[in-house]
Chain A
């Protein structure tokens, strides 16, 4: 049974760096063809793909946010950390951590419950 859960601050100030942790179970990020992705959704708006970490430590980022994002495996092998620098009120959103199937085409089949991050002074 695959589960994922996001954790991190619910409120950050403009210009601060956001750090979110995804804690997962039911799969190994060392298994070929597996990844962990991050996707966000501003209130009332569409989903937006942010980043993907592959089983072999390769990474992909949204071109529009690439300069602000990092994604890494945490010390614990069952955690992935996303950081986003220079947070702005437009970054207010629910951030989701996902299990990814990486093959001929990547997709996201299991999602965490999401965590709402508000950017405000």
Chain B
């Protein structure tokens, strides 16, 4: 079965840059998507198709992808960015949708 691997946790000081990685064998051929999930809330899409930002998402959120790794970058992290972040993509066949293992981002 296909897996997307993320680090369990990332810590960052306010105003600094946080980088969250997502590793998967199909990422060279498939887009990565990123979701932010605050405690007790539903996930919110923050990056789609590797690097595009939906309307209303702050510019400090950016995405990139190279080879088998996609990265979500939060530039100038704010306290309100503290949340779980999930990457998402599909397997090489496109038949199976997969979420990453999730990363808890702490801003303090």
Contacts of B43 in A (CB 8 A): 47, 96, 111
Interface size class of B (residues with CB under 8 A): 20 to 34
A-contact 0/1 string along B64-108, CB 8 Å cutoff: 000000000000000000000010111000111111111000000
Chain A minimum-CB-distance residue to B41? A113
Q: Is A57 an interface residue (CB 8 A)?
A: no
Question: Could you tell me if B86 and A114 are in contact, using CB atoms closer than 8 angstroms?
Answer: no
Residue ranges of B at the interface with A (Cβ–Cβ < 8 Å): 1, 30-31, 33, 35, 42-45, 48-49, 54, 86, 88-90, 94-102
Residue ranges of A at the interface with B (Cβ–Cβ < 8 Å): 37, 39, 45-49, 52, 60, 62-64, 96, 105-109, 111-114
Shortest CB-to-CB span from B85 to chain A, Å, is 11
Chain B minimum-CB-distance residue to A39? B99
Shortest CB-to-CB span from A99 to chain B, Å, is 10
Residue in B54, B86, B90 whose beta carbon sits within 8 Å of that of A46 in the complex: B86
Question: Could you tell me if A109 and B100 are in contact, using CB atoms closer than 8 angstroms?
Answer: no
Chain B minimum-CB-distance residue to A60? B95
Question: Could you tell me if A111 and B42 are in contact, using CB atoms closer than 8 angstroms?
Answer: yes
Chain A minimum-CB-distance residue to B29? A105
Contacts of B54 in A (CB 8 A): 109
Question: Could you tell me if A108 and B45 are in contact, using CB atoms closer than 8 angstroms?
Answer: yes
Contacts of B94 in A (CB 8 A): 105-106
Given contacts A47-B102, A105-B31, A114-B42, 18 further A-B contacts (CB under 8 A): A46-B86, A46-B99, A46-B100, A47-B86, A47-B99, A49-B98, A49-B99, A60-B95, A60-B97, A62-B96, A63-B1, A105-B30, A106-B90, A106-B94, A107-B31, A108-B45, A109-B48, A111-B43
Question: Could you tell me if B99 and A48 are in contact, using CB atoms closer than 8 angstroms?
Answer: yes
Contacts of A47 in B (CB 8 A): 35, 43, 86, 88, 99, 102
Question: Could you tell me if B97 and A49 are in contact, using CB atoms closer than 8 angstroms?
Answer: yes
Contacts of A64 in B (CB 8 A): 1
